[in-house]
Chain A
């Protein structure tokens, strides 16, 4: 990805149309990826929007927009998490749990469905970071090239690593499910 060309202005003219096209192609899947990654829908929405605002303010479109957007979004997640960690140290344990917890199941939602959600969340949290990102990026249809570029991997081995990540996910999910 060539990132040496940076302007301080915003995207304008024909590039605005390209920006809108990129938004339609990528916003939904970046949001879903971040939502699954963080388990925090509001944070995911904020960061997905912020990534596109930064793309607009960049002034020129990157050569590999998908990898660029994901890289920016991941850095924003990391920054937010380190700030959030410092903030949570000041909260009581009960308040800290409340901040992280998902919404309780609604009246029409079965308990087992909520359990599955909890198990999936726990499985993702337990996975090594690289496998987690690979699994979630592929689930959103990102190409092997984008995955390799975003995670700093050799593109030729993305398939093998993805296979391992899926196996690890299924095994960990099975262990968590059986333990309850």
Chain B
């Protein structure tokens, strides 16, 4: 039994566990064929590395401190605004708190002169941003570094069409049926009502987006790769489209 290609490469790159490496080195001591294959793999690696070095350029001189400063400078505008607002609120609060303060008298005059305010109308439930021109219910969110779209009740969902787009936001639309969307910074929970079909649009540039039905992952888009296994609910319909059938 000879050593397979996977283990030849792993031996070359120090990716074998200690016990596997011992076993394989033991085999190599006795097998001229495998020694020859390992030597060839080493030569291939050296040749490829040497050719790649030919196209290298000098590494730019930049320091961690310079990049940390650049990151802080970029954050500065909103920080300055936040600091100014906090300062203004602090000054106003201090002025109000001083006994005999004209600001306190002024506020008291205003509040006593004003007619009693009518009771506020009952607050409408907070709604996620919707597509204003679309007849279908939907939501669009920036995916950030990692994003999860979770469908909470799989039974009524007939189909989910997944499209890879050039857009910047993950978009989820209910093409038929209705749905409730609950959005967080890195996740979206979709609760379908009735027999629903959905369209999910994922930006190609999103680093990592997962589609879940309940606790089951049906699709993972990571970098340029889309993985539909092991659930097997989704199949590739084209280079940019996947169809997930949830009722079999």
In terms of DSSP, what is the predominant structure of the interface of chain A? Answer: helix
B124 interfacial contact with A, CB 8 Å? no
Query: In the complex where A41-B57, A163-B5 touch, is A56 in contact with B13 (Cβ < 8 A)?
Result: no
The reply to whether B67 and A32 contact each other, CB–CB distance below 8 Å, is no
* Cα of A79 to Cα of B64 in the assembled complex, Å: 24
Q: Tell me, in angstroms, the Cα distance from A52 to B63 when the chains sit together.
A: 11
In the bound complex, do residue B67 and residue A56 qualify as a contact, i.e. CB atoms below 8 Å apart? Answer: yes
Chain B residues with CB below 8 A from A71, complex form: 207-208, 222-223
Interface size on A, residues (CB 8 A): 68
Q: How many residues of B contact A (CB 8 A)?
A: 51
Q: A10-B71, A53-B67, A159-B8 are in contact. Are A116 and B54 (CB under 8 A)?
A: yes
Residue of A78, A113, A162 touching B9 (CB-CB under 8 A): A162
A53-74 residues at the B interface, CB under 8 angstroms: 53-54, 56-58, 68, 71-72, 74
Contact indicator B56/A35 (Cβ below 8 Å): yes
Let me know if B110 is at the binding interface, CB within 8 A.
no
Within 8 A of A (CB), among B185-207: 185-186, 204-205, 207
Cross-interface CB contact of B48 among A58, A116, A135, A143, cutoff 8 Å: A135
- The proximity string for B residues 127-158 relative to A, scoring 1 for CB distances below 8 Å and 0 otherwise, is 00000000000000000111000000000000
Pair B68/A19 contact, Cβ less than 8 Å: yes
Report whether B13 and A138 are in contact in the complex, using a CB–CB cutoff of 8 Å.
yes
**Minimum CB distance partner of A42 in chain B:** B60
The verdict on B45 contacting chain A, using a C-beta distance below 8 Å, is yes
Contact across chains for B223 and A74 when beta carbons are under 8 A apart: yes
A156 and B52 form a contact (CB under 8 A): no
Determine whether the beta carbon of A151 is less than 8 Å from that of B68.
no
A32 to B53 Cα, complex, angstroms: 9
Task: Give the residues in chain A near B28, CB-CB below 8 Å.
Answer: none
Query: CB within 8 A of B52: which of A16, A78, A120?
Result: A120
Measured in the bound complex, the distance between the Cα atoms of B7 and A1 in whole Å is 26
Knowing A41-B57, A56-B71, A151-B225, say if A27 contacts B62 (CB, 8 Å): yes
- B interface with A by C-beta (< 8 Å): 4-10, 13, 15, 41, 44-45, 47-49, 51-52, 54-57, 59-60, 62-65, 67-68, 70-72, 74-75, 144-146, 166, 185-186, 204-205, 207-208, 220, 222-227
25 A-B pairs (CB sep. < 8 Å):
A6-B145, A9-B75, A10-B68, A19-B68, A24-B64, A27-B59, A27-B62, A31-B60, A32-B59, A36-B52, A36-B55, A49-B70, A116-B51, A120-B51, A123-B51, A135-B52, A138-B13, A144-B15, A152-B227, A159-B9, A159-B13, A160-B4, A160-B5, A162-B9, A166-B44
- Additional A-B contact list (17), CB under 8 Å, known A3-B145, A143-B15: A23-B64, A32-B56, A32-B59, A39-B55, A45-B60, A45-B62, A53-B71, A78-B204, A117-B54, A120-B51, A152-B226, A153-B225, A157-B6, A159-B6, A159-B7, A163-B5, A170-B48
